[in-house]
Amino acid sequence: MSEKVSKAEEVAAAQQADSIVTSEPGAWMTTRKELWAFYVYYIGNNGLSGFNFGPSQFQNLLFLAGYDPSQPPFTAACGAGTDCVLPYLGRIRDVNSIVLLTNGISFALQAVVLLMVGAWADYGTWRPNITIVFTILAVGVSFAWLGVDDPSRWEAGVALYILGLITYQCALTFWTAAFPGLARDLPEVQESAAQLASGEKSATEHADYESLERNRISNVSFAVCSAGEIIILAVMVGILKGLKSDESTENNTKAFSVLIAFSGGIWLLCALPWFFFEKRRPGLALPVGASMLTIGFKQTVVAFRECMRLKQTFLYLIFYFLMGDVLNTTVTVIGTLQNSVVSYSTLQLTLLLIVGIVAQGLGIYLFWLVQKRFRIPTKTMLCFNVVWILVLTIWGLIGIHTDKFGFKHVWEIWLYQAYYGLMVCPWYAYSQTMISEVSPLPQMFLFFALFSVVGKTSAFIGPLVSSAIITASGNNDNYPFVFLFTLGALSTGFLYFVDVEKSRKECGEFVLAEAKREAFADA
C-alpha cells in the first residue's frame, strides 16, 4: 500500500477520533432527550401537508376547475371517464401534466435555494436556525390552505403547492443532515473513538461501528415517524367524519384544506422539542474573504470540483441524481393516477395512507432487523431496495396499452400502498445514510446540501420530461414509466461500482488536502 494511501487512512482515523475525543469531554455528547427530540420532529415533518394532502388538494382543485377537451372550453365539467384540461403557462394542458410541470418548477426553485443556503449549515453555531426558519414557513403555508378551498382559487393553489414543497423539502434536508453528528456524539460511539485513539480498535472497526449506529438512528427515526403518523391519520379520519367529507364535493374540498392545516399544527408541536434540545455543535470558521451571501455557491463549486477527486463520492452522486429522479417522479406520477382512481376522496386517501404508513414502519423495521442481525453493509441494503423501485416502474409500464393493470383500479392502489411502504420506503433511510458513508466528516453538512441540490435538480428534470411525454402521447398518463424504467436501470450500474472502503481512503486524502488549505483555497 502506498505511503499516500496509508497517510490518508491515518487522517481518516484521526478525523473520526479527534472529532469525538475533544478537550471538553462530553461537551457535545448526544443525550437521550436530544435523540428523542430528533425522532419526534420527524413525526411532525411527515409530509402529510406538503407532500401528500397538499398535492392532492392542488390536483383536486385543478380537476374541479378544468373542462372536458372534447367539448367547447369550460362548457362541460371533467368526469371520471373524460380527459381534463386547463390553460396553464401558455397552452392547454392535461391536469396531470400541470401537476408534474408545477412539481418540476418547485424542485428547480429548491435547487436555487439550497445552492444559496446549503453551505450555511457548516459555519458557526447557528445552523439549527435554518431548520427552524423553514419549519415555521412550512407551517404557515399549511394554515394558508384554509383560504384556498374553492376551485376558483386554483391559481393560488399553484403558489401554495410550490411553497409547500420547497419548505417541506428544505426543512427535511437540514433536519436529516443533523443525524451524522448525533451518531458521532453518542456515548457508545465516543467510547469506540477513544478505543481507536488508544489503539485498541482499528479505523475500519470503528468506521463500521459508527456506520451501524448511523443506520440505527436513521431507521429508528423512520419507525417512530410511522408510529406517530398512524395516530395522526386515525385522528384525521375522525375529523373527516365530523366534516362529513363524503357527503358532497364541497365538503370534500374543504376537508382537504382542514387536514393540511391540522398537519401543520402537529408539525409545529412536534418540532418544538428539537428546537430547544438540539445542541448547537460548532461548525467551521468562515474562510477569509468569503461572505454568507456567496459562500453557498463557492462551496458548491468546490464540492463539485472535489467530487471529481472523490471518485466513489462522485459515482454515488451520479446514482443519487438519477435514481432520486426516478423515484420522485414515479411517486408523483402514481400519485396523480391514484387521486383520479379514488376520485379525490379525502377519506379514501387517508385510509390508503394509513395502510401505507403501517407498511412503511414494518418495512423499515424489518430491513433494519435483517441488517443488524447479519451486519449487512449500507450499500448492500440499498442495492436490494433499488430492485423493488425498478419493479414499481415496470408495474406502471404495463398499463400503457391495457386498462386491466398499471395503477388503474382501486385494488391496485391499495396494493401499491402496502408494496411502497414495505419495499420502497427504506430508500429514504438508506440513501441518506449512504451519503454519510461517502462524505468527509468536517464538511458533512456541505455534502448533504450538495446531494440535496443534486437531488432537487434531478427531481425537476423528471417531472418536466414526464409532463412533456404525457402531452406528446395524447394524454396517456402511463407513458412516463418508459422513461423512468430506462433511467432507473441505467442508474443502478453506478451504484454497483461504488466502493465504500475506497471512499474512506479518498475522504481521508480530502481532509488532509483541506487541512493544508488546498481543497478550499478558492473559497
Q: CB 331: neighbour CB atoms within 10 A?
A: 15
Kindly report, residue by residue over 466-520, the tens digit of the pLDDT: 888 988 888 888 999 999 999 999 999 999 999 998 998 888 887 777 666 544 4
Mean pLDDT for the chain overall: 85
Segment 388-416, tens digit of pLDDT? 999 999 999 999 999 899 999 999 999 99
Q: What pLDDT is attached to residue 175?
A: 87
Query: Which tens digits make up the pLDDT trace of 295-337?
Result: 777 777 776 776 677 889 889 989 998 998 899 899 989 998 9
Average pLDDT, stretch 447-468? 74
pLDDT in tens, 108-131: 888 788 777 766 766 666 678 889
pTM over 0.75: yes
- What tens digit of pLDDT does each residue of 409-448 get? 999 999 999 999 999 999 988 898 898 888 887 666 667 6
pLDDT tens profile 202-258: 877 887 788 788 878 888 888 899 899 999 999 999 999 999 998 999 999 999 999
pLDDT tens digits for 150-176?
999 999 999 999 999 999 988 988 888
Please work out, in degrees rounded to the nearest 5, the angle formed at the alpha carbon of residue 187 by the alpha carbons of 185 and 189.
65
If we measure between CA atoms, which residue out of 106, 274, 59 comes closest to residue 174? 274
What φ, ψ does residue 77 adopt, rounded to 5°? -70, 160
Q: What is the pLDDT of residue 521?
A: 43
What pLDDT was estimated at residue 125? 67
Q: Is the pLDDT of residue 17 over 60?
A: no
pLDDT at 480: 94
Instruction: Report the pLDDT value the prediction gives residue 140, as an integer from 0 to 100.
Output: 97
The pLDDT > 90 percentage for the chain reads 47
Give the CA-trace dihedral at 370, 17, 296, 126, to 10 degrees. 100
Q: Where are the beta strands (DSSP E) in 420-489?
A: none
- Could you write out the DSSP letters of every residue in 142-154? HHHGGG--SGGGH
Which of 122, 59, 63, 48 has the alpha carbon at shortest distance from 295? Answer: 122
Query: How far is it, in rounded angstroms, from Cα 44 to Cα 209?
Result: 30
Instruction: Output the pLDDT for position 515.
Output: 65
pLDDT recorded at residue 8: 42
Phi/psi at 199 (5° precision): 90, 5
pLDDT value of residue 6: 42
Cβ contact 224:40 at 8 Å: yes
